[in-house]
Amino acid sequence: MLKESLPYYSYRDYLTQRYGEPLFRVPIDLELGCPNRRPDGSGGCTFCPENGARAVQTLDVSGTEAQLAAGISFAKRRYKARRFMLYIQAYTGTFASVIEQKKKYSELLEAYPFDAISIGTRPDCLSKATLEYLEELNKTLDVFVELGVQTIHNKTLERINRQHDWQASLDAIAALKAHNIKVCAHIIVGLPGEDREHYIQTVKTLASLNLDGIKIHNLHIIKNTQLAKEYLAQPFPVMDEHEYAQILIELIRRLPPDLPLMRFATDTPEKEIVAPKWHMSKGQFSEYVTEQMRLRGYRQGDLFEAGNEEPQSLMPTVFECKDGSYTFWNEMFRDYYHPRSGARKQAAELFLQESSLRERLKNGPVRLLDIGFGMGYNSLLACEMAHSLALHPLEIHAVDQDRRVILQSADIIKNVLDEKLAWALILKELYKNGIYTSEYFNISLHNSDVRYALEQQKGEFDVIFLDPFIERSNCRMVTLELFKHLKKILKSDGVLVYSGTHTASLSAMADAGFCLTAAGKPKSDIHGIVAKHKGPSLECKNVLPYRDPYGVWTDRKIRQYREEEIKKQQH
């Protein structure tokens, strides 16, 4: 099976294309200091730690020779690295006379046959002599300069004590380009006082400057920094994993498709972080962002130019159910999206009938939360019902990660179904704009991880549909923590209809305080569970439920944790 390409242009891919294989960076601290610090090392940018953001693998190593040996050994051991790039990382790599720069760089470049050098520095620390030296050095090996831009907003730059303005970054980029030196920009998402619009403005501006790379990471508030003191005195919002992923994806989509993305998460040691406290590793976060972009059909650059957003192709196998409706075969999970007796039949007999939706719409307005929107049958049949009754409005909040399926579903419905309502039109509007409004119903599509989507919801719901497809593969949708949340947002006379009967899911629902009854006819492949706040309840098997204590674990992590807990019980 061919490996699916990343939805963004990774720095690793760029280096592989340029050098035939990836170069691994060897970080070095030349102890050159920073022009924004006092002679005793105090002062500086409010977010910067005392060690000048030195690499984790060399934190306890002193001397450039020892750092060099440690960095190369680490990369060979961990990544099987064969070729390397020298990375002047900590503090300001050009804060010295040209004579000293030449001496220090030459010593390192002579110690090992590096293919390239990357120098981290400030926009206000590139003298004419430095630029000329780097231009000359660039004739013998590739030179990259990584500029700490952080943001284009002067108010923020002043707030974090950068001691330079945006114009300084603009001038530095132009000067480096004029000397044929490759330039990469570093930016921070989440700086105090900034919001989504600030981040987008920063990225859109940098995207227009013909950069050679960009590094994005979320704000880390590190111990013993000025920013940490400010945060502890008066906390300000910081981003959790889902929040940062949401805005990061927006930013990646606005980058040129050929701009290498050097990284989008940082790895400050846990013991040094004041906030945010994450429960995803950097690798897990990278996998999560990649997963979310693929599921939503997004890729780097699809918002860079107007009209550049094209749907990412998905070629599912179409299957005709016994009731004449159509469903898809999911190759990854090796199963159909719906029971063979019918997608429409399941929507009508399980979700609409067991929720008493018709009676509820006759009595007043209904708020419905549809988790696992998928091809849309459950919500669309509910809309048909509201439309035909023409009595009270139906407000649907639909949640699904996989935006691609919605577009494919629209094509299938358009081609083979003749519905009372224009289902294909509704689905295409949801795919494009995330909302569809009619006289007696409206649907809002929340295209994200269910846990993040639920955090954004306001108010209570009369009806909740929960259709996780295959529980074990989507166990983030059936954890004890998720069911506790659903119980909080379900009205006292509300109902939750669930399409599965997995014992771990039932155990989680019961532990969350729901009263459960079985739904479905004997010998039918359409079955599920009806959950309410009060009433008689099934006797559930005493099995361990799926757990997600921090609300960010991957499905794999949730499964692994449960399996480990079961083993502990057995021993």
**∠ CA 313-314-316 to the nearest 5 degrees?**
150
**For 502-507, what is the mean pLDDT?**
92
pLDDT of residue 466: 97
Residue 505: CB atoms within 10 A of its CB come to: 27
Once rounded to an integer, what is the mean pLDDT over residues 177-193? 97
Identify the helix (H) or strand (E) that includes residue 527.
strand 527-532
In the block, which residue shows the tokens 């050994």? 73
More confident site: 359 or 538: 359
Query: What average pLDDT does the segment 207-217 reach?
Result: 97
3-state secondary structure of 182: strand
CA atoms 211, 216, 220, 222: torsion sign: negative
Crossing angle for the helix pair 503-511 and 480-489, to the nearest 10 degrees: 50
Which pTM value belongs to this model? 0.91
Looking at the DSSP assignment, which residues form a beta bridge with residue 184?
A: 146, 213
Residue 334: pLDDT band by 50, 70, 90 thresholds? Answer: confident
CA neighbor of 88 nearest in space, from 15, 143, 20, 151: 143
Main-chain phi, psi angles of 396, to 5 degrees: -110, 130
Residue 1: band (very low, low, confident or very high) from pLDDT cuts 50, 70, 90:
very low
pLDDT at 57 over 60: no
pLDDT at 80 > cutoff 50 = yes
Q: How many CB atoms lie within 10 A of CB 335?
A: 12
Name residues whose C-beta falls within 8 Å of residue 467's C-beta, 6 or more positions apart in sequence: 351, 370, 371, 372, 374, 378, 498, 499
Residue 137 has pLDDT above 80, yes or no: yes
Residue-wise pLDDT for 410-466, tens only, equals: 888 865 555 567 899 999 999 999 999 999 999 999 999 999 999 999 999 999 999
Strongest mean pLDDT among 47-51, 206-210, 277-281: 206-210
Confidence of residue 52 (pLDDT cuts 50, 70, 90): very low
Q: Which residue has the higher pLDDT, 298 or 539?
A: 298
Write b or e for each residue in 128-165: b if 16 or more Cβ atoms lie within 10 A of its Cβ, otherwise e.
eebbebbeebbeeebbbbbbbbbbbbeebbebbebbbb
Burial 527-558 (b: 16+ CB within 10 A, else e): bbbbbbeeeeebebeeebbbbbeebbbbbebb
Instruction: Kindly list the structural domains of the chain, giving each domain's residue range(s) and its CATH number in brackets, ordered by start.
Output: 11-296 (3.20.20.70), 341-563 (3.40.50.150)
Q: For residue 508, give the nearest of 473, 536, 471 by alpha carbon.
A: 471
- Using DSSP's 3-state secondary structure scheme, residue 449 falls into coil
Q: What is the mean pLDDT of residues 16-43?
A: 86
Residue 368 has pLDDT above 70, yes or no: yes
- pLDDT reported for residue 433: 93
Return the pLDDT at 54.
Answer: 43
**How confident is the model over 460-483, as a mean pLDDT?**
94
| Residue 145 pLDDT | 96
pLDDT of residue 470: 85
Per-residue pLDDT reduced to its tens digit, 238-297: 999 999 999 999 999 999 999 999 999 988 888 999 999 999 999 999 999 999 999 998
Peptide bond into 549 cis (omega under 30): no
* Cβ atoms of 540 and 506 closer than 8 Å: yes
Residue 3: pLDDT over 70: no
Tokens 């330079």, located at residue: 164
Do 55 and 27 touch, CB atoms closer than 8 A? yes
Average of per-residue pLDDT across 334-361: 94
Average pLDDT of the residues in 39-67: 70
Which band of pLDDT confidence, cut at 50, 70 and 90, is reported for residue 31?
confident
CA distances from 95 to 38, 87, 101, 439 (A): 13, 15, 8, 65
Provide, rounded to the nearest whole percent, the portion of the chain with pLDDT above 70: 94
Strand 490-498 and strand 461-466: the pairing is: parallel
